[in-house]
Amino acid sequence: MDMRTPLKKVRGLGSAKEGTHHFWMQRMTAVALVPLFILFIIFIIAHIGAPYEEVVASLANPFIAVLMGLMIVAGLVHMRIGMQEIIDDYIHGEVLKLVAVMANTFFTVLIGGLCLFAILKIAFVG
């Protein structure tokens, strides 16, 4: 017994085999971002009004630098998956959808590279 609808048979569309992966990655990054973002807020509050040199010295601490890097990576992965879901749901033209997904990925990689470079520069150069 075939459970597919007649339209699905005609169009040949089936599972892309990525929905579950995206679902779990979205949830896992959300869970990871909760403590990371709380620590980020605590860091910001602790350094309100602090001189530039003190903030840079704090960011040069390997523990703080790693936490900031993890927050950036988790946040960008979370953002990319969320935007891809929005693109998949609301953009119906195939070419435009492909361009939007590519732009979403390139933007995420660009911002991630720049942010991680900044953290590494502060951590190693001071």
Any idea where the domains of the chain sit in the sequence? Answer: 35-125
Residue 22: pLDDT band (50, 70, 90) is confident
Beta-carbon contacts of residue 50 (< 8 Å; ≥ 6 apart) = none
> What single-letter DSSP state applies at residue 49?
T
pLDDT tens per residue across span 41-90: 999 999 999 999 999 999 999 999 999 999 999 999 999 999 999 999 99
Assign residue 2 a region: left if phi > 0, alpha if psi is -120 to 50, beta otherwise?
beta
Residue 10: pLDDT band (50, 70, 90) is low
Q: 77 vs 15, 48, 80, CA distance in Å?
A: 22, 28, 5
- Residue at token pair 């960011």: 59
What proportion of the chain, given as a percentage, has pLDDT over 90? 79
Dmax over CA atoms of the chain, in Å, equals 71
Beta-carbon contacts of residue 84 (< 8 Å; ≥ 6 apart) = 22, 101, 104
- Residue at token pair 């997904």: 101
Going by C-alpha positions, the residue among 58, 34, 62, 28 that lies closest to residue 46 is: 58
Three-state DSSP state, 44: helix
What proportion of the chain, given as a percentage, has pLDDT over 70? 85
CATH class of 35-125: mainly alpha
Residue 96: pLDDT band (50, 70, 90) is very high
